[in-house]
Amino acid sequence: MKIYLGLTFNDPQLLPAAPAELVNSQILSPSGLLSYLETFYSLGTPAVNRAALRTEQYRQVLVQYLKVSEQDPFYLAAFRADELATAEELLSRRDELLDAGYPLSAEGAEETPARIRVLHELEALLLADDNELDLYAGPADRLNLLLSSLGEDRHPRLEIFINEPRHLFTPGTRRLLDALESLGDTVSALPEPKAPLKNNDLGSWQRKLRAVSGIDKLSPEPVQGSLFGEEASSAAEATAREQDLTGDGSLVILRAQRETHLAAYLARLLRDAPDWRPGALLTVRNQTLDNALVTEGLPSLGVPSTSLARPSLQVLKLVTAFLWEPLEVDRIMEFVSLVTKPLDWRLAQRMAVHLADTPGMFGPRWVAMVEGFFRELQADGETTNDQIATIRKQYDDWFRRRRISRDGRIPKFDLRQLFFDLREWALLERTEKRKKDVQLKRTVGDYAGLLVLSAQAQRAMELLDAQPETDLNFLEVERLVRTVYEPAPTHFQPKEQGSLSTIFAPASAAKLPGTDPLKKLIWWDFIEHEPDYFFSRYYPDELEYLESLGARPNGPAHHNERSAWQQLRPVLHTREQLILCLPERVDGSSVEAHPLFGDLEAAFPDGALDRITINVDAAGQATGPLVTGQRPAFSPVAIHPLSRPVPQFSIERLQQAQPREREAPTAMEDLLYYPHKWIFRHQLRLQGTPILSIASENRLRGNLSHLFIERLLNKIKSGEVLMERASVREWIDDNADRLLAQEGAVMLEYGQEPERIQFIRTMQYSAWSLVHYIKENGWSVRGSEQRLEGELEPMGGQFIRGRADLVLEREKNGIVEVAVVDLKWRGKSVFKNLLRNAKDVQLCLYAEFIRQNLPPDGEDKPPYRQPERVHTAYYVLRDALMLSRDELAFANIETVAGADEAKVVQASTLKKIRATYNWRWEQFADGIVEVRCNETLGHLEDLYQDLPHDELLEMEADDARFDDYRSLIGLVR
C-alpha cells in the first residue's frame, strides 16, 4: 500500500491532479494516517467531534485540582477570568507533550519545571481511581495507544511518501514514522521540484528561489539558451537574462483595486481562451472568483465556503438572549430579522418593524401589534387553526418564557430545554424544506446549515450534561455557546465538469509519481494570510528539560520554517506559467501582499516588475504581458452623471388628482413647503421599505420623553400625582424601568447605565419645569396627545386631523383661554426660527381647530367651552425651555420678539397657509410638481417672480429634512 502523506492532504485535491482512481494507494494527512492504522488494530476512531466535551472534562479536572492543591497553581488568575478558555489552553499543552512522547503520566522529578509539574499532578488526578473524572481520548492519546499496539504488526506493508521534510511534521507524526520504519515499512520524501529548463521570467525567479532556499546551489541542470543548451549563447547574455525580466508571459502579476475586478478579468480571459485551463490556488475559500466564472457561463469550481455568518447558525448565538432580563433589543432585532428562525416570518416582520420604531416590548403597543396579527390570521382564512396554534406556541415559547436577571443564574434544565427545542426545530425545518422541494419538483437541497445547527445544539446539550453545576451565569452561558459555535462549510454550487482544477493550500501543489507536471497556475489570493509571529508556550528552562528527555515540541522556528517551505511549493512546481493575483482591497479592507512578493521585488532590479504587471483597472491601456496570447478588449465607458434636480416636472395623471379626505398636519407641511414629498408619498404611494434597525439616539429619547410626559400629565389630570416637585420626581423614579422596558429597552442593557441615569435626571428636571409652568400660570391639563381636527377653510375646506402633545386650559379674569404646547426633545434654535419667521404651521392649525370647536363625532371627544384666546408654545424637553411669542400664557419664559402680537401673527399665518394650499392645488391641476431644494432655489425664484409673495408662506431655501425621495429628485448622484 502506497501512502502519500502531507500536512495539507486532508483535502485530497492536488495539483497536478492525482489520478481519478488511485490503485492500492491513498492520499492522507497525519490524522488520516492515524485513523487508517487504527482500523487494523481494533482501535476506535471518534465518529463525532468531541473537542468541546474534552475541554469541559478538563475544566472539571482543573476545578478539582484547586480544591486539593496546597498552593495556587500558575493558571489561577486566567482560570478565574475564563474557565473554559484556560482549560482549552492547558489541555492543548497536555496533548502537545503527549504527542512529543513526554511521560506525563509518570511522577514528576525534582528537576521538573514548576509549570510542567502541575501538568503531571493534573494527569495524576485525572488517572486516579478515587474520583469520577474522565477525559475522552484526543489525537495524542490515540497516537500513543496506536504506538503501543504496533508491535502486533497487523497492518499491510506501507510505502509512505512524505510531502514536507520530515523534521517539519509534528513530533508525534515523526515518532509514528520511526515506528513504522522499524516494522519494515518504508518512508521516503517526494522528489523536490525539478530545476527550470527554460530561460524565461518564471525560470529566472525559480532559480533564484532555489538558490536562496538551498534546494540547489546554481541550477546544475541544462538551461535552454544557455551555455549548456543546443543553441549556444554567451555567458554574458545568460547572466543578463538572469538579472532582468522580459515580460514573456510566463510570470504575470495581475493588480487591481478590488478582488472583484481581478475575478471579472480572469473569467473573461478563460471565456475567450477555451484552450487555456490553468490550475487555481485559493488559500481562502470564498465565492468571488467562482461567481465571476459562473457569470461568464463557465463551469463552477464548487468552492465550499466556510462562514459563521450563515443565517441558520446565527440562531444559536441569539436564542440565549431570551433567557435574561432585561431583554437585549439589538439581539432580538437580529433574531426576528433572520431568514431562517424558529418563528413565523410574518409575525417576525411585524416585530422587527415595531422594534425599529419602538425599541421595547410587552407594552400596550406591543400587545396590540401581536394580538392584531393573530386576529388578521384568523380573518384571512388561509391559515388553519392548527397553524395559528403553532405560531402562537412559538411566540409564547420565546417571548413568554421565564427570564432571569442578568446578574442571576439560569437553571441548567431551562438552558438544556432551550437547546433541545432548537435542535428539534432545526431537524423538523430541514424535513419540511425537503418535502417542499419534492412538492415543487425542484432539486432537493441538503440544507447543511440546519444539520450543523442541530448538531451544535446537540453538542451544547452534551456539554451541559457533562457539567456538574446545576445553574450557569450569563458569561458562562455565552462561553458555552462560543465553545460549540463553529462555521459550517456550504457548497453554494457543486463542482461542474470542465471546471479548473483547484487546490486550497500552497503545499497541495505536489507532484505525485506518474503524474504530469503542473504547467500553469493562477495564485488567486496572493496576499498575506499567515500570522507574522509565533510565540513559544514554554520557557527556556522548560525547553531544555524537555529536550533532555527527547520530547521537545515544535516551536516558533518550526512553524516559520514549515510556512516558508509550503509557500514555495506553488512557485517551484509550476513549469510554464504562474499568474499572481494581487488586489489592494478584499471585502472592502486593505490587504498586504504575500511575503513572497517581497522576495520577487528583491530578486530583480528596480522597475523590472512593471514589465510583468497588468493593471486590470487601467482600462484600454496595453500594459503588461499577454497572458493567453490576447488581452480582453477594454472599452472606455463615458461617465454620464445623473441629472441634476429640476425646479418642476410634470405628471399628467396629477391633473385629475383630488384632495384626500383627511390630512395630517405633518403631511400639510410637506404639501405647502415640499410638494414633491407629498405627491410621491400620498398620490403616487411610493413607500420606502422600513429600515429594520433600532431608532437613532435622538429619536429614541424624543419618543421616550413624550411617553414620560404624556403618562405623567394624565396622572396629574386624574389627581393621582400632585403638582409638587417631590411627587413628580417620585413618579418618574417609580415608573422609569417599566416605561423604558416597554418603549426604550436599549437603555436597560449592559453598559447603558450612565446614559439611562442622565436621561432620567433630565426627565425629572424637565418634567418638573413643565409642571411648574402649568401650576404657576394657573393652567390645568385638558389633554395630553389630544386629538384635534378641523377644516382649513371653515364650512367645507380641507379636513385635517392631528394630535396635540399638550393642551391646557384656564379661566382668567372671566376669559376662557387655551394653550397648545408642542413638545420637542431638542432643537432650540430651530423652533426659535419657526416662531420668528411665522412658520409654526402645526401650532397655528391646532389653534384654529380649537377656535372652530367642531361638534364631537364620537364619544372620545367631549364638548369644550369656546375659548376667547388660544396661545401656542414650544417646550424643548432636553433644555427644559418654554418658547413662545409672548408671556401672556407663561410668565418668565424665553420669548421671540416680533412686530405684531401673537394673535395677529396667528391670523396672518393661517391666511397664508390657506393661500399657499390653494396655490399648490392650482399647480397640481396643471400637472406641475415643484422640487424645492438648494440646487433649484435660483430657478424657482425666477419662475415665481410674478407671484404675490406677501400673501404666501415664506418658502424654504434648504433641502427638505428627512426626505425619503432624495434619489428620485436627483440629490443623490
CA angle (247 as vertex; 241, 249 as ends), nearest 5: 115
Residue 391: name the closest of 405, 376, 411 by CA: 376
Cell match 465571476: residue?
292
- Residue 690 has a pLDDT of 63
Residue 917 reports pLDDT greater than 90: yes
The pLDDT, as a whole number, for residue 859 is: 43
Q: How far apart are CA 313 and CA 316, in angstroms?
A: 6
Q: Which amino acid is at 587?
A: D
Q: Which residues pair with 488 in a beta bridge?
A: 307
Q: Please give the average per-residue pLDDT across 66-91, as a whole number.
A: 91
Nearest alpha carbon to residue 320 among 467, 480, 464, 85: 480
Question: Which one is predicted more confidently, 449 or 396?
Answer: 396
CA dist 728 and 765 (Å) reads 9
Q: What is the pLDDT of residue 380?
A: 85
Nearest to 140 by CA among 553, 549, 546: 553
Counting residues of the chain whose pLDDT is more than 90, the rounded percentage is: 46
Residue 964 has pLDDT above 90, yes or no: no
Closest CA to 847 of 802, 795, 877: 802
Give mean pLDDT, residues 298-323. Answer: 79
Q: How far apart (Å, rounded) are the C-alpha atoms in residues 7 and 12?
A: 11
Mean pLDDT value of segment 673-697 = 83
Q: What is the mean pLDDT of residues 323-332?
A: 88
Residue with C-alpha cell 448622484? Answer: 973
Write the pLDDT tens digit of every residue in 602-656: 888 888 888 888 888 876 555 566 676 666 666 667 888 778 899 999 998 888 8
> In the 8-state DSSP scheme, what is residue 680?
I
Q: CA of 242: how far to CAs of 27, 219, 225, in Å?
A: 37, 12, 12
Mean pLDDT across 863-872: 82
Q: Structural domain boundaries of the chain?
A: 2-46+147-189, 51-136, 201-307+495-615, 328-402, 409-486, 695-776
pLDDT digit string (tens) for 225-266? Answer: 332 233 333 333 444 345 678 888 889 999 999 999 999 999
Query: What pLDDT does 309 receive?
Result: 56
Q: Report residue 729 as a C-alpha cell.
A: 420626581
- What are the distances in angstroms from CA 452 to CA 313, 323, 370, 490? 8, 23, 32, 10
- Alpha-helical runs (H) found in 498-653: 540-548, 556-573, 595-603
| This prediction's pTM | 0.75
State the virtual CA torsion across 893, 767, 710, 886 in degrees, nearest 10.
Answer: 0
Query: What pLDDT is stored for residue 860 in this prediction?
Result: 53
Calculated CA dihedral for residues 644, 648, 652, 657, nearest 10 degrees:
120
Number of H helices, E strands in the chain: 32, 25
Question: What span, in angstroms and rounded, lies between the C-alpha atoms of 16 and 12?
Answer: 11
User: Distance between CA 525 and CA 583 in Å, rounded?
Assistant: 8
Residues in the chain: 973
Report which DSSP code applies to 850: H
Flag whether pLDDT at 52 surpasses 50. yes
Q: What is the pLDDT of residue 312?
A: 66
**Which segments of 818-857 does DSSP mark as H helices, in order?**
828-836, 841-852
- Window from 523-537, 548-562, 806-820, 923-937 with minimum mean pLDDT: 523-537
Average pLDDT over residues 487-505: 79
Instruction: Round the average pLDDT of the chain to a whole number and report it.
Output: 86
The rounded distance, in Å, linking the Cα atoms of 256 and 580 is: 12
Question: pLDDT digit string (tens) for 178-195?
Answer: 999 999 999 999 988 888
Residue 961: pLDDT above 60? yes
Torsion of CA 260, 262, 265, 271, to 10 degrees: -80
How far is Cα 446 from Cα 652, in angstroms, rounded to an integer? 53
Angle at 683 between CA 681 and CA 684, to 5 degrees: 70
Give kind and range of the element (H or E) at residue 870.
strand 869-876
Vertex 560, ends 559 and 565: CA angle to 5°? 100
Q: What is the pLDDT of residue 486?
A: 73
Q: Which ranges constitute the DSSP H helices of 128-169?
A: 139-149
**Least confident among 58-72, 86-100, 209-223:** 209-223
Report pLDDT for 222. Answer: 36
**Beta strand extents in 551-692 (DSSP E only):** 577-586, 589-590, 613-615, 648-650
Q: Is the pLDDT of residue 599 over 60?
A: yes
| pLDDT score of 671 | 94
Coil/strand/helix, residue 648: strand
Topology (CATH level 3) of domain 201-307+495-615: Rossmann fold (3.40.50)
pLDDT value of position 306: 67
Mean pLDDT value across residues 452-457: 88
682: which DSSP letter? I
Mean pLDDT of 149-176: 93
Residue 770 has pLDDT above 80, yes or no: yes
Higher-scoring residue by pLDDT: 855, 926: 926
Mean pLDDT computed over 499-521: 89
Q: Which residues are within 8 A (CB) of 3 and not within 5 positions of it... i.e. 6 or more apart?
A: 25, 26, 28, 33, 36, 158, 159, 160, 161
If DSSP codes are grouped into helix, strand and coil, which group holds residue 402?
coil
Which residues, listed in sequence order, are joined to residue 603 by a DSSP beta bridge? none
pLDDT band at 406 (very low <50, low <70, confident <90, very high): confident
